[in-house]
Chain A
């Protein structure tokens, strides 16, 4: 099984900041890596597929990059609605998720 490790596990930031969340895979997964946002009480929402493809309707301040075993999700210019938990997920083999990164308001 492929393990995904996100860092940091939690992060405090201010509106307007640029933040980066990292997801590391235990084995190479090429670009089979996807990012989700989950707000309290809500279902997960797909933000980015295949490492860097922004989903329709997702603001361009979200971007993803990486390949192989290391990936990043960057939010440029945090907005109040961006404070949430973010998960990475791989589909190179049997799907698995990272443990999540909680983004909180500083």
Chain B
């Protein structure tokens, strides 16, 4: 079955960086894009960006441009999301999700990782 397994919780100081991993299994890794979404405590869902392991195309949300990078280790079927210049309002659960319609663009998200809590605190 399709599974996305994310790395564990992180605690970071303001200004630091965090890199979250998302390991895929149960399907052909390069056939589907991966999206990253976050959810601050008690809040709604916020889209961060999308990455295609097929051709390394990516698209980041405008508000994160310049401080977010998505990358991949194809051999390990893993996608990474790095967020730099962390602030207290970056405290959230970060999810990776599989793009349900394939590798070529974002659409709907049909499988989700378990989430990674990133806490930013001095």
Contact = CB atoms under 8 A, between A and B. Distances in A.
Interface of A: 1, 32, 34, 36, 43-46, 49-50, 55, 87, 89, 91, 94-100
Interface of B: 35, 37, 44-47, 50, 59, 61-62, 95, 97, 100, 105-110, 112-115
A97 B108 contact: no
A32 B100 CA distance: 13
A46 B110 contact: yes
Contacts of A34: 107-109
A43 B112 contact: yes
Query: Interface SS of chain A: helix, strand, loop or mixed?
Result: loop
Given A95-B47, A97-B46, A43 B107 contact: no
A97 B107 contact: no
Contacts of A94: 47, 59, 61-62
Contacts of B112: 43-45
Contact of B106 (A36, A87, A91, A99): A91
A99 B50 CA distance: 20
Nearest to A46: B110
Contacts of A95: 35, 47, 50, 106
B53 to A, nearest CB: 18
A49 B100 contact: yes
Most chain A CB within 10 A, of B50, B107, B108, B109, is at B108
Contacts of B95: 43-44
Given A89-B45, A94-B59, A97-B47, 15 more contacts: A1-B62, A34-B108, A36-B45, A36-B109, A44-B97, A45-B112, A49-B110, A50-B108, A55-B110, A87-B45, A94-B61, A94-B62, A97-B37, A97-B45, A98-B44
